[in-house]
Amino acid sequence: MEGQVQQGYQNPFASQQMGQHVNHGTVHIEQSRAITEAQGKLLLAKKFPRDEALAYSKIMTSCQRPALAAVGEYAYPRGGQKVSGPSIRLAEELARCWGNIDYGIRELSRQEGNSEMEAYAWDVETNTYSSQKFTVRHIRDKRGGGVALTDERDIYEITANMGGRRLRARLLAILPPDLVDAAVNRCRKTLAGDNEEPVADRVRRSVEAFGRFGVNAGHLSTYLGKSLDDCLPEDIANLQAVYNSIKGGQAQASDFFSMRSHESEAGDLNAEIKQAQTA
């Protein structure tokens, strides 16, 4: 469930109205501790302000690393068009290099069957704060209906997964848009640019990676509209964004690839994806 989004110049640790199920004593202690920590962070940010030119250089250097570039972007279909953007991994790296940014996901309270969560990002230097509160149901969707989660590890995984998506949005809300665009473009150039590995080998690795989601070479060829033998480095970058989206659970393989044209491998593709993601 989506919750309220707050953004602007404010005290992120101000007292707020709490429900009856919340332990008020514990919350008061945590608020006092958080205020003390916040004051320390504000002092450090004033004493050590970010060097924007140096931060930009660090970001470009990070985006030149193939490991980050490979997971720097995701893509998913919406309304017949492909929507793409920076991944949570890239957003976190941008925050690290930009500096003086505090961010995270926290569980505010837990009731039977759901957790009240908050994702937040705070530019300590400019005191720009963006947060989103949301509720995560302790249910994993499966064929035939949802399954209630009782194991603590399963609950942690689903809350962390749901929180990661909101955290990405909160980070992007406070980071300079032109900085984000430059980082995404640099990641694309890294994937498509000079690479010692031949394109044919990179295509082969892509086919192997997509194979765990029930997608074969024919599906990839149809999606690109060309033979895999004619792939360009830009096509590899395109496939990488799609792969990141499927692997991260933001989209399903059937959103990109039609199984009807490959009847010999027909099956429940979405079931294969969920099985691979939980393996």
Answer with the one of 183, 218, 241 that is the final residue of a domain: 183
Q: Is 249 left (phi over 0), alpha (psi -120 to 50) or beta?
A: left
What gap in Å lies between CA 256 and CA 153, rounded to an integer? 31
Helix (H, G, I), strand (E, B) or coil at 127: coil
Instruction: Kindly state whether residues 170 and 56 are assigned to the same domain.
Output: yes
Instruction: Kindly state whether residues 179 and 203 are assigned to the same domain.
Output: no
Q: What is the pLDDT of residue 95?
A: 97
Answer with the one of 183, 218, 244 that is the final residue of a domain: 183
Say if 67 falls within a structural domain: yes
What gap in Å lies between CA 214 and CA 253, rounded to an integer? 8
User: Judging by beta carbons within 10 Å of its beta carbon (0-12, 13-18, 19+), is residue 158 exposed, middle or buried?
Assistant: middle
Q: What is the pLDDT of residue 193?
A: 73
Instruction: Kindly state whether residues 151 and 214 are assigned to the same domain.
Output: no
Judge contact between 99 and 122, C-beta under 8 A.
no
Instruction: Kindly state whether residues 99 and 150 are assigned to the same domain.
Output: yes
Instruction: Kindly state whether residues 136 and 209 are assigned to the same domain.
Output: no
Say if 114 falls within a structural domain: yes
> What's this model's pTM, rounded to 2 decimal places?
0.69
Q: Rounded to whole angstroms, what are the CA distances from 127 to 95, 100, 118, 189, 261?
A: 15, 10, 18, 33, 54
What gap in Å lies between CA 276 and CA 273, rounded to an integer? 5
Say if 106 falls within a structural domain: yes
Say if 56 falls within a structural domain: yes
Answer with the one of 135, 158, 183 that is the final residue of a domain: 183
Instruction: Kindly state whether residues 171 and 228 are assigned to the same domain.
Output: no
Domain that holds residue 205: 196-278
Beta bridge partners of 74: 85
Instruction: Kindly state whether residues 171 and 71 are assigned to the same domain.
Output: yes
What gap in Å lies between CA 260 and CA 266, rounded to an integer? 7
Instruction: Kindly state whether residues 67 and 115 are assigned to the same domain.
Output: yes
Say if 111 falls within a structural domain: yes
Residue 180: CA atoms inside 13 Å, Cβ hemisphere, count? 21
Instruction: Kindly state whether residues 150 and 55 are assigned to the same domain.
Output: yes
Q: What is the pLDDT of residue 268?
A: 47
Say if 34 falls within a structural domain: no
Count of domains forming the chain = 2
Percentage helix, strand, coil for the chain under 3-state DSSP, each rounded to 5 = 55, 20, 25
Instruction: Kindly state whether residues 83 and 149 are assigned to the same domain.
Output: yes
Q: What is the pLDDT of residue 255?
A: 84
Q: What is the pLDDT of residue 36?
A: 87
Say if 37 falls within a structural domain: no
User: What is the chain's pLDDT, residue by residue, as a tens digit (279 residues)?
Assistant: 556 666 665 555 555 555 555 556 666 787 788 888 888 988 998 999 999 999 999 999 999 998 899 899 988 777 777 778 899 999 999 999 999 999 999 998 888 889 999 999 999 999 999 999 999 999 887 776 778 888 888 888 888 888 988 999 999 999 999 999 999 999 988 887 766 678 888 899 899 999 998 899 999 999 888 999 888 888 888 898 889 888 877 778 888 887 544 433 434 455 554 555 454
What gap in Å lies between CA 135 and CA 13, rounded to an integer? 20
Say if 242 falls within a structural domain: yes
Instruction: Kindly state whether residues 107 and 177 are assigned to the same domain.
Output: yes
Instruction: Kindly state whether residues 137 and 255 are assigned to the same domain.
Output: no
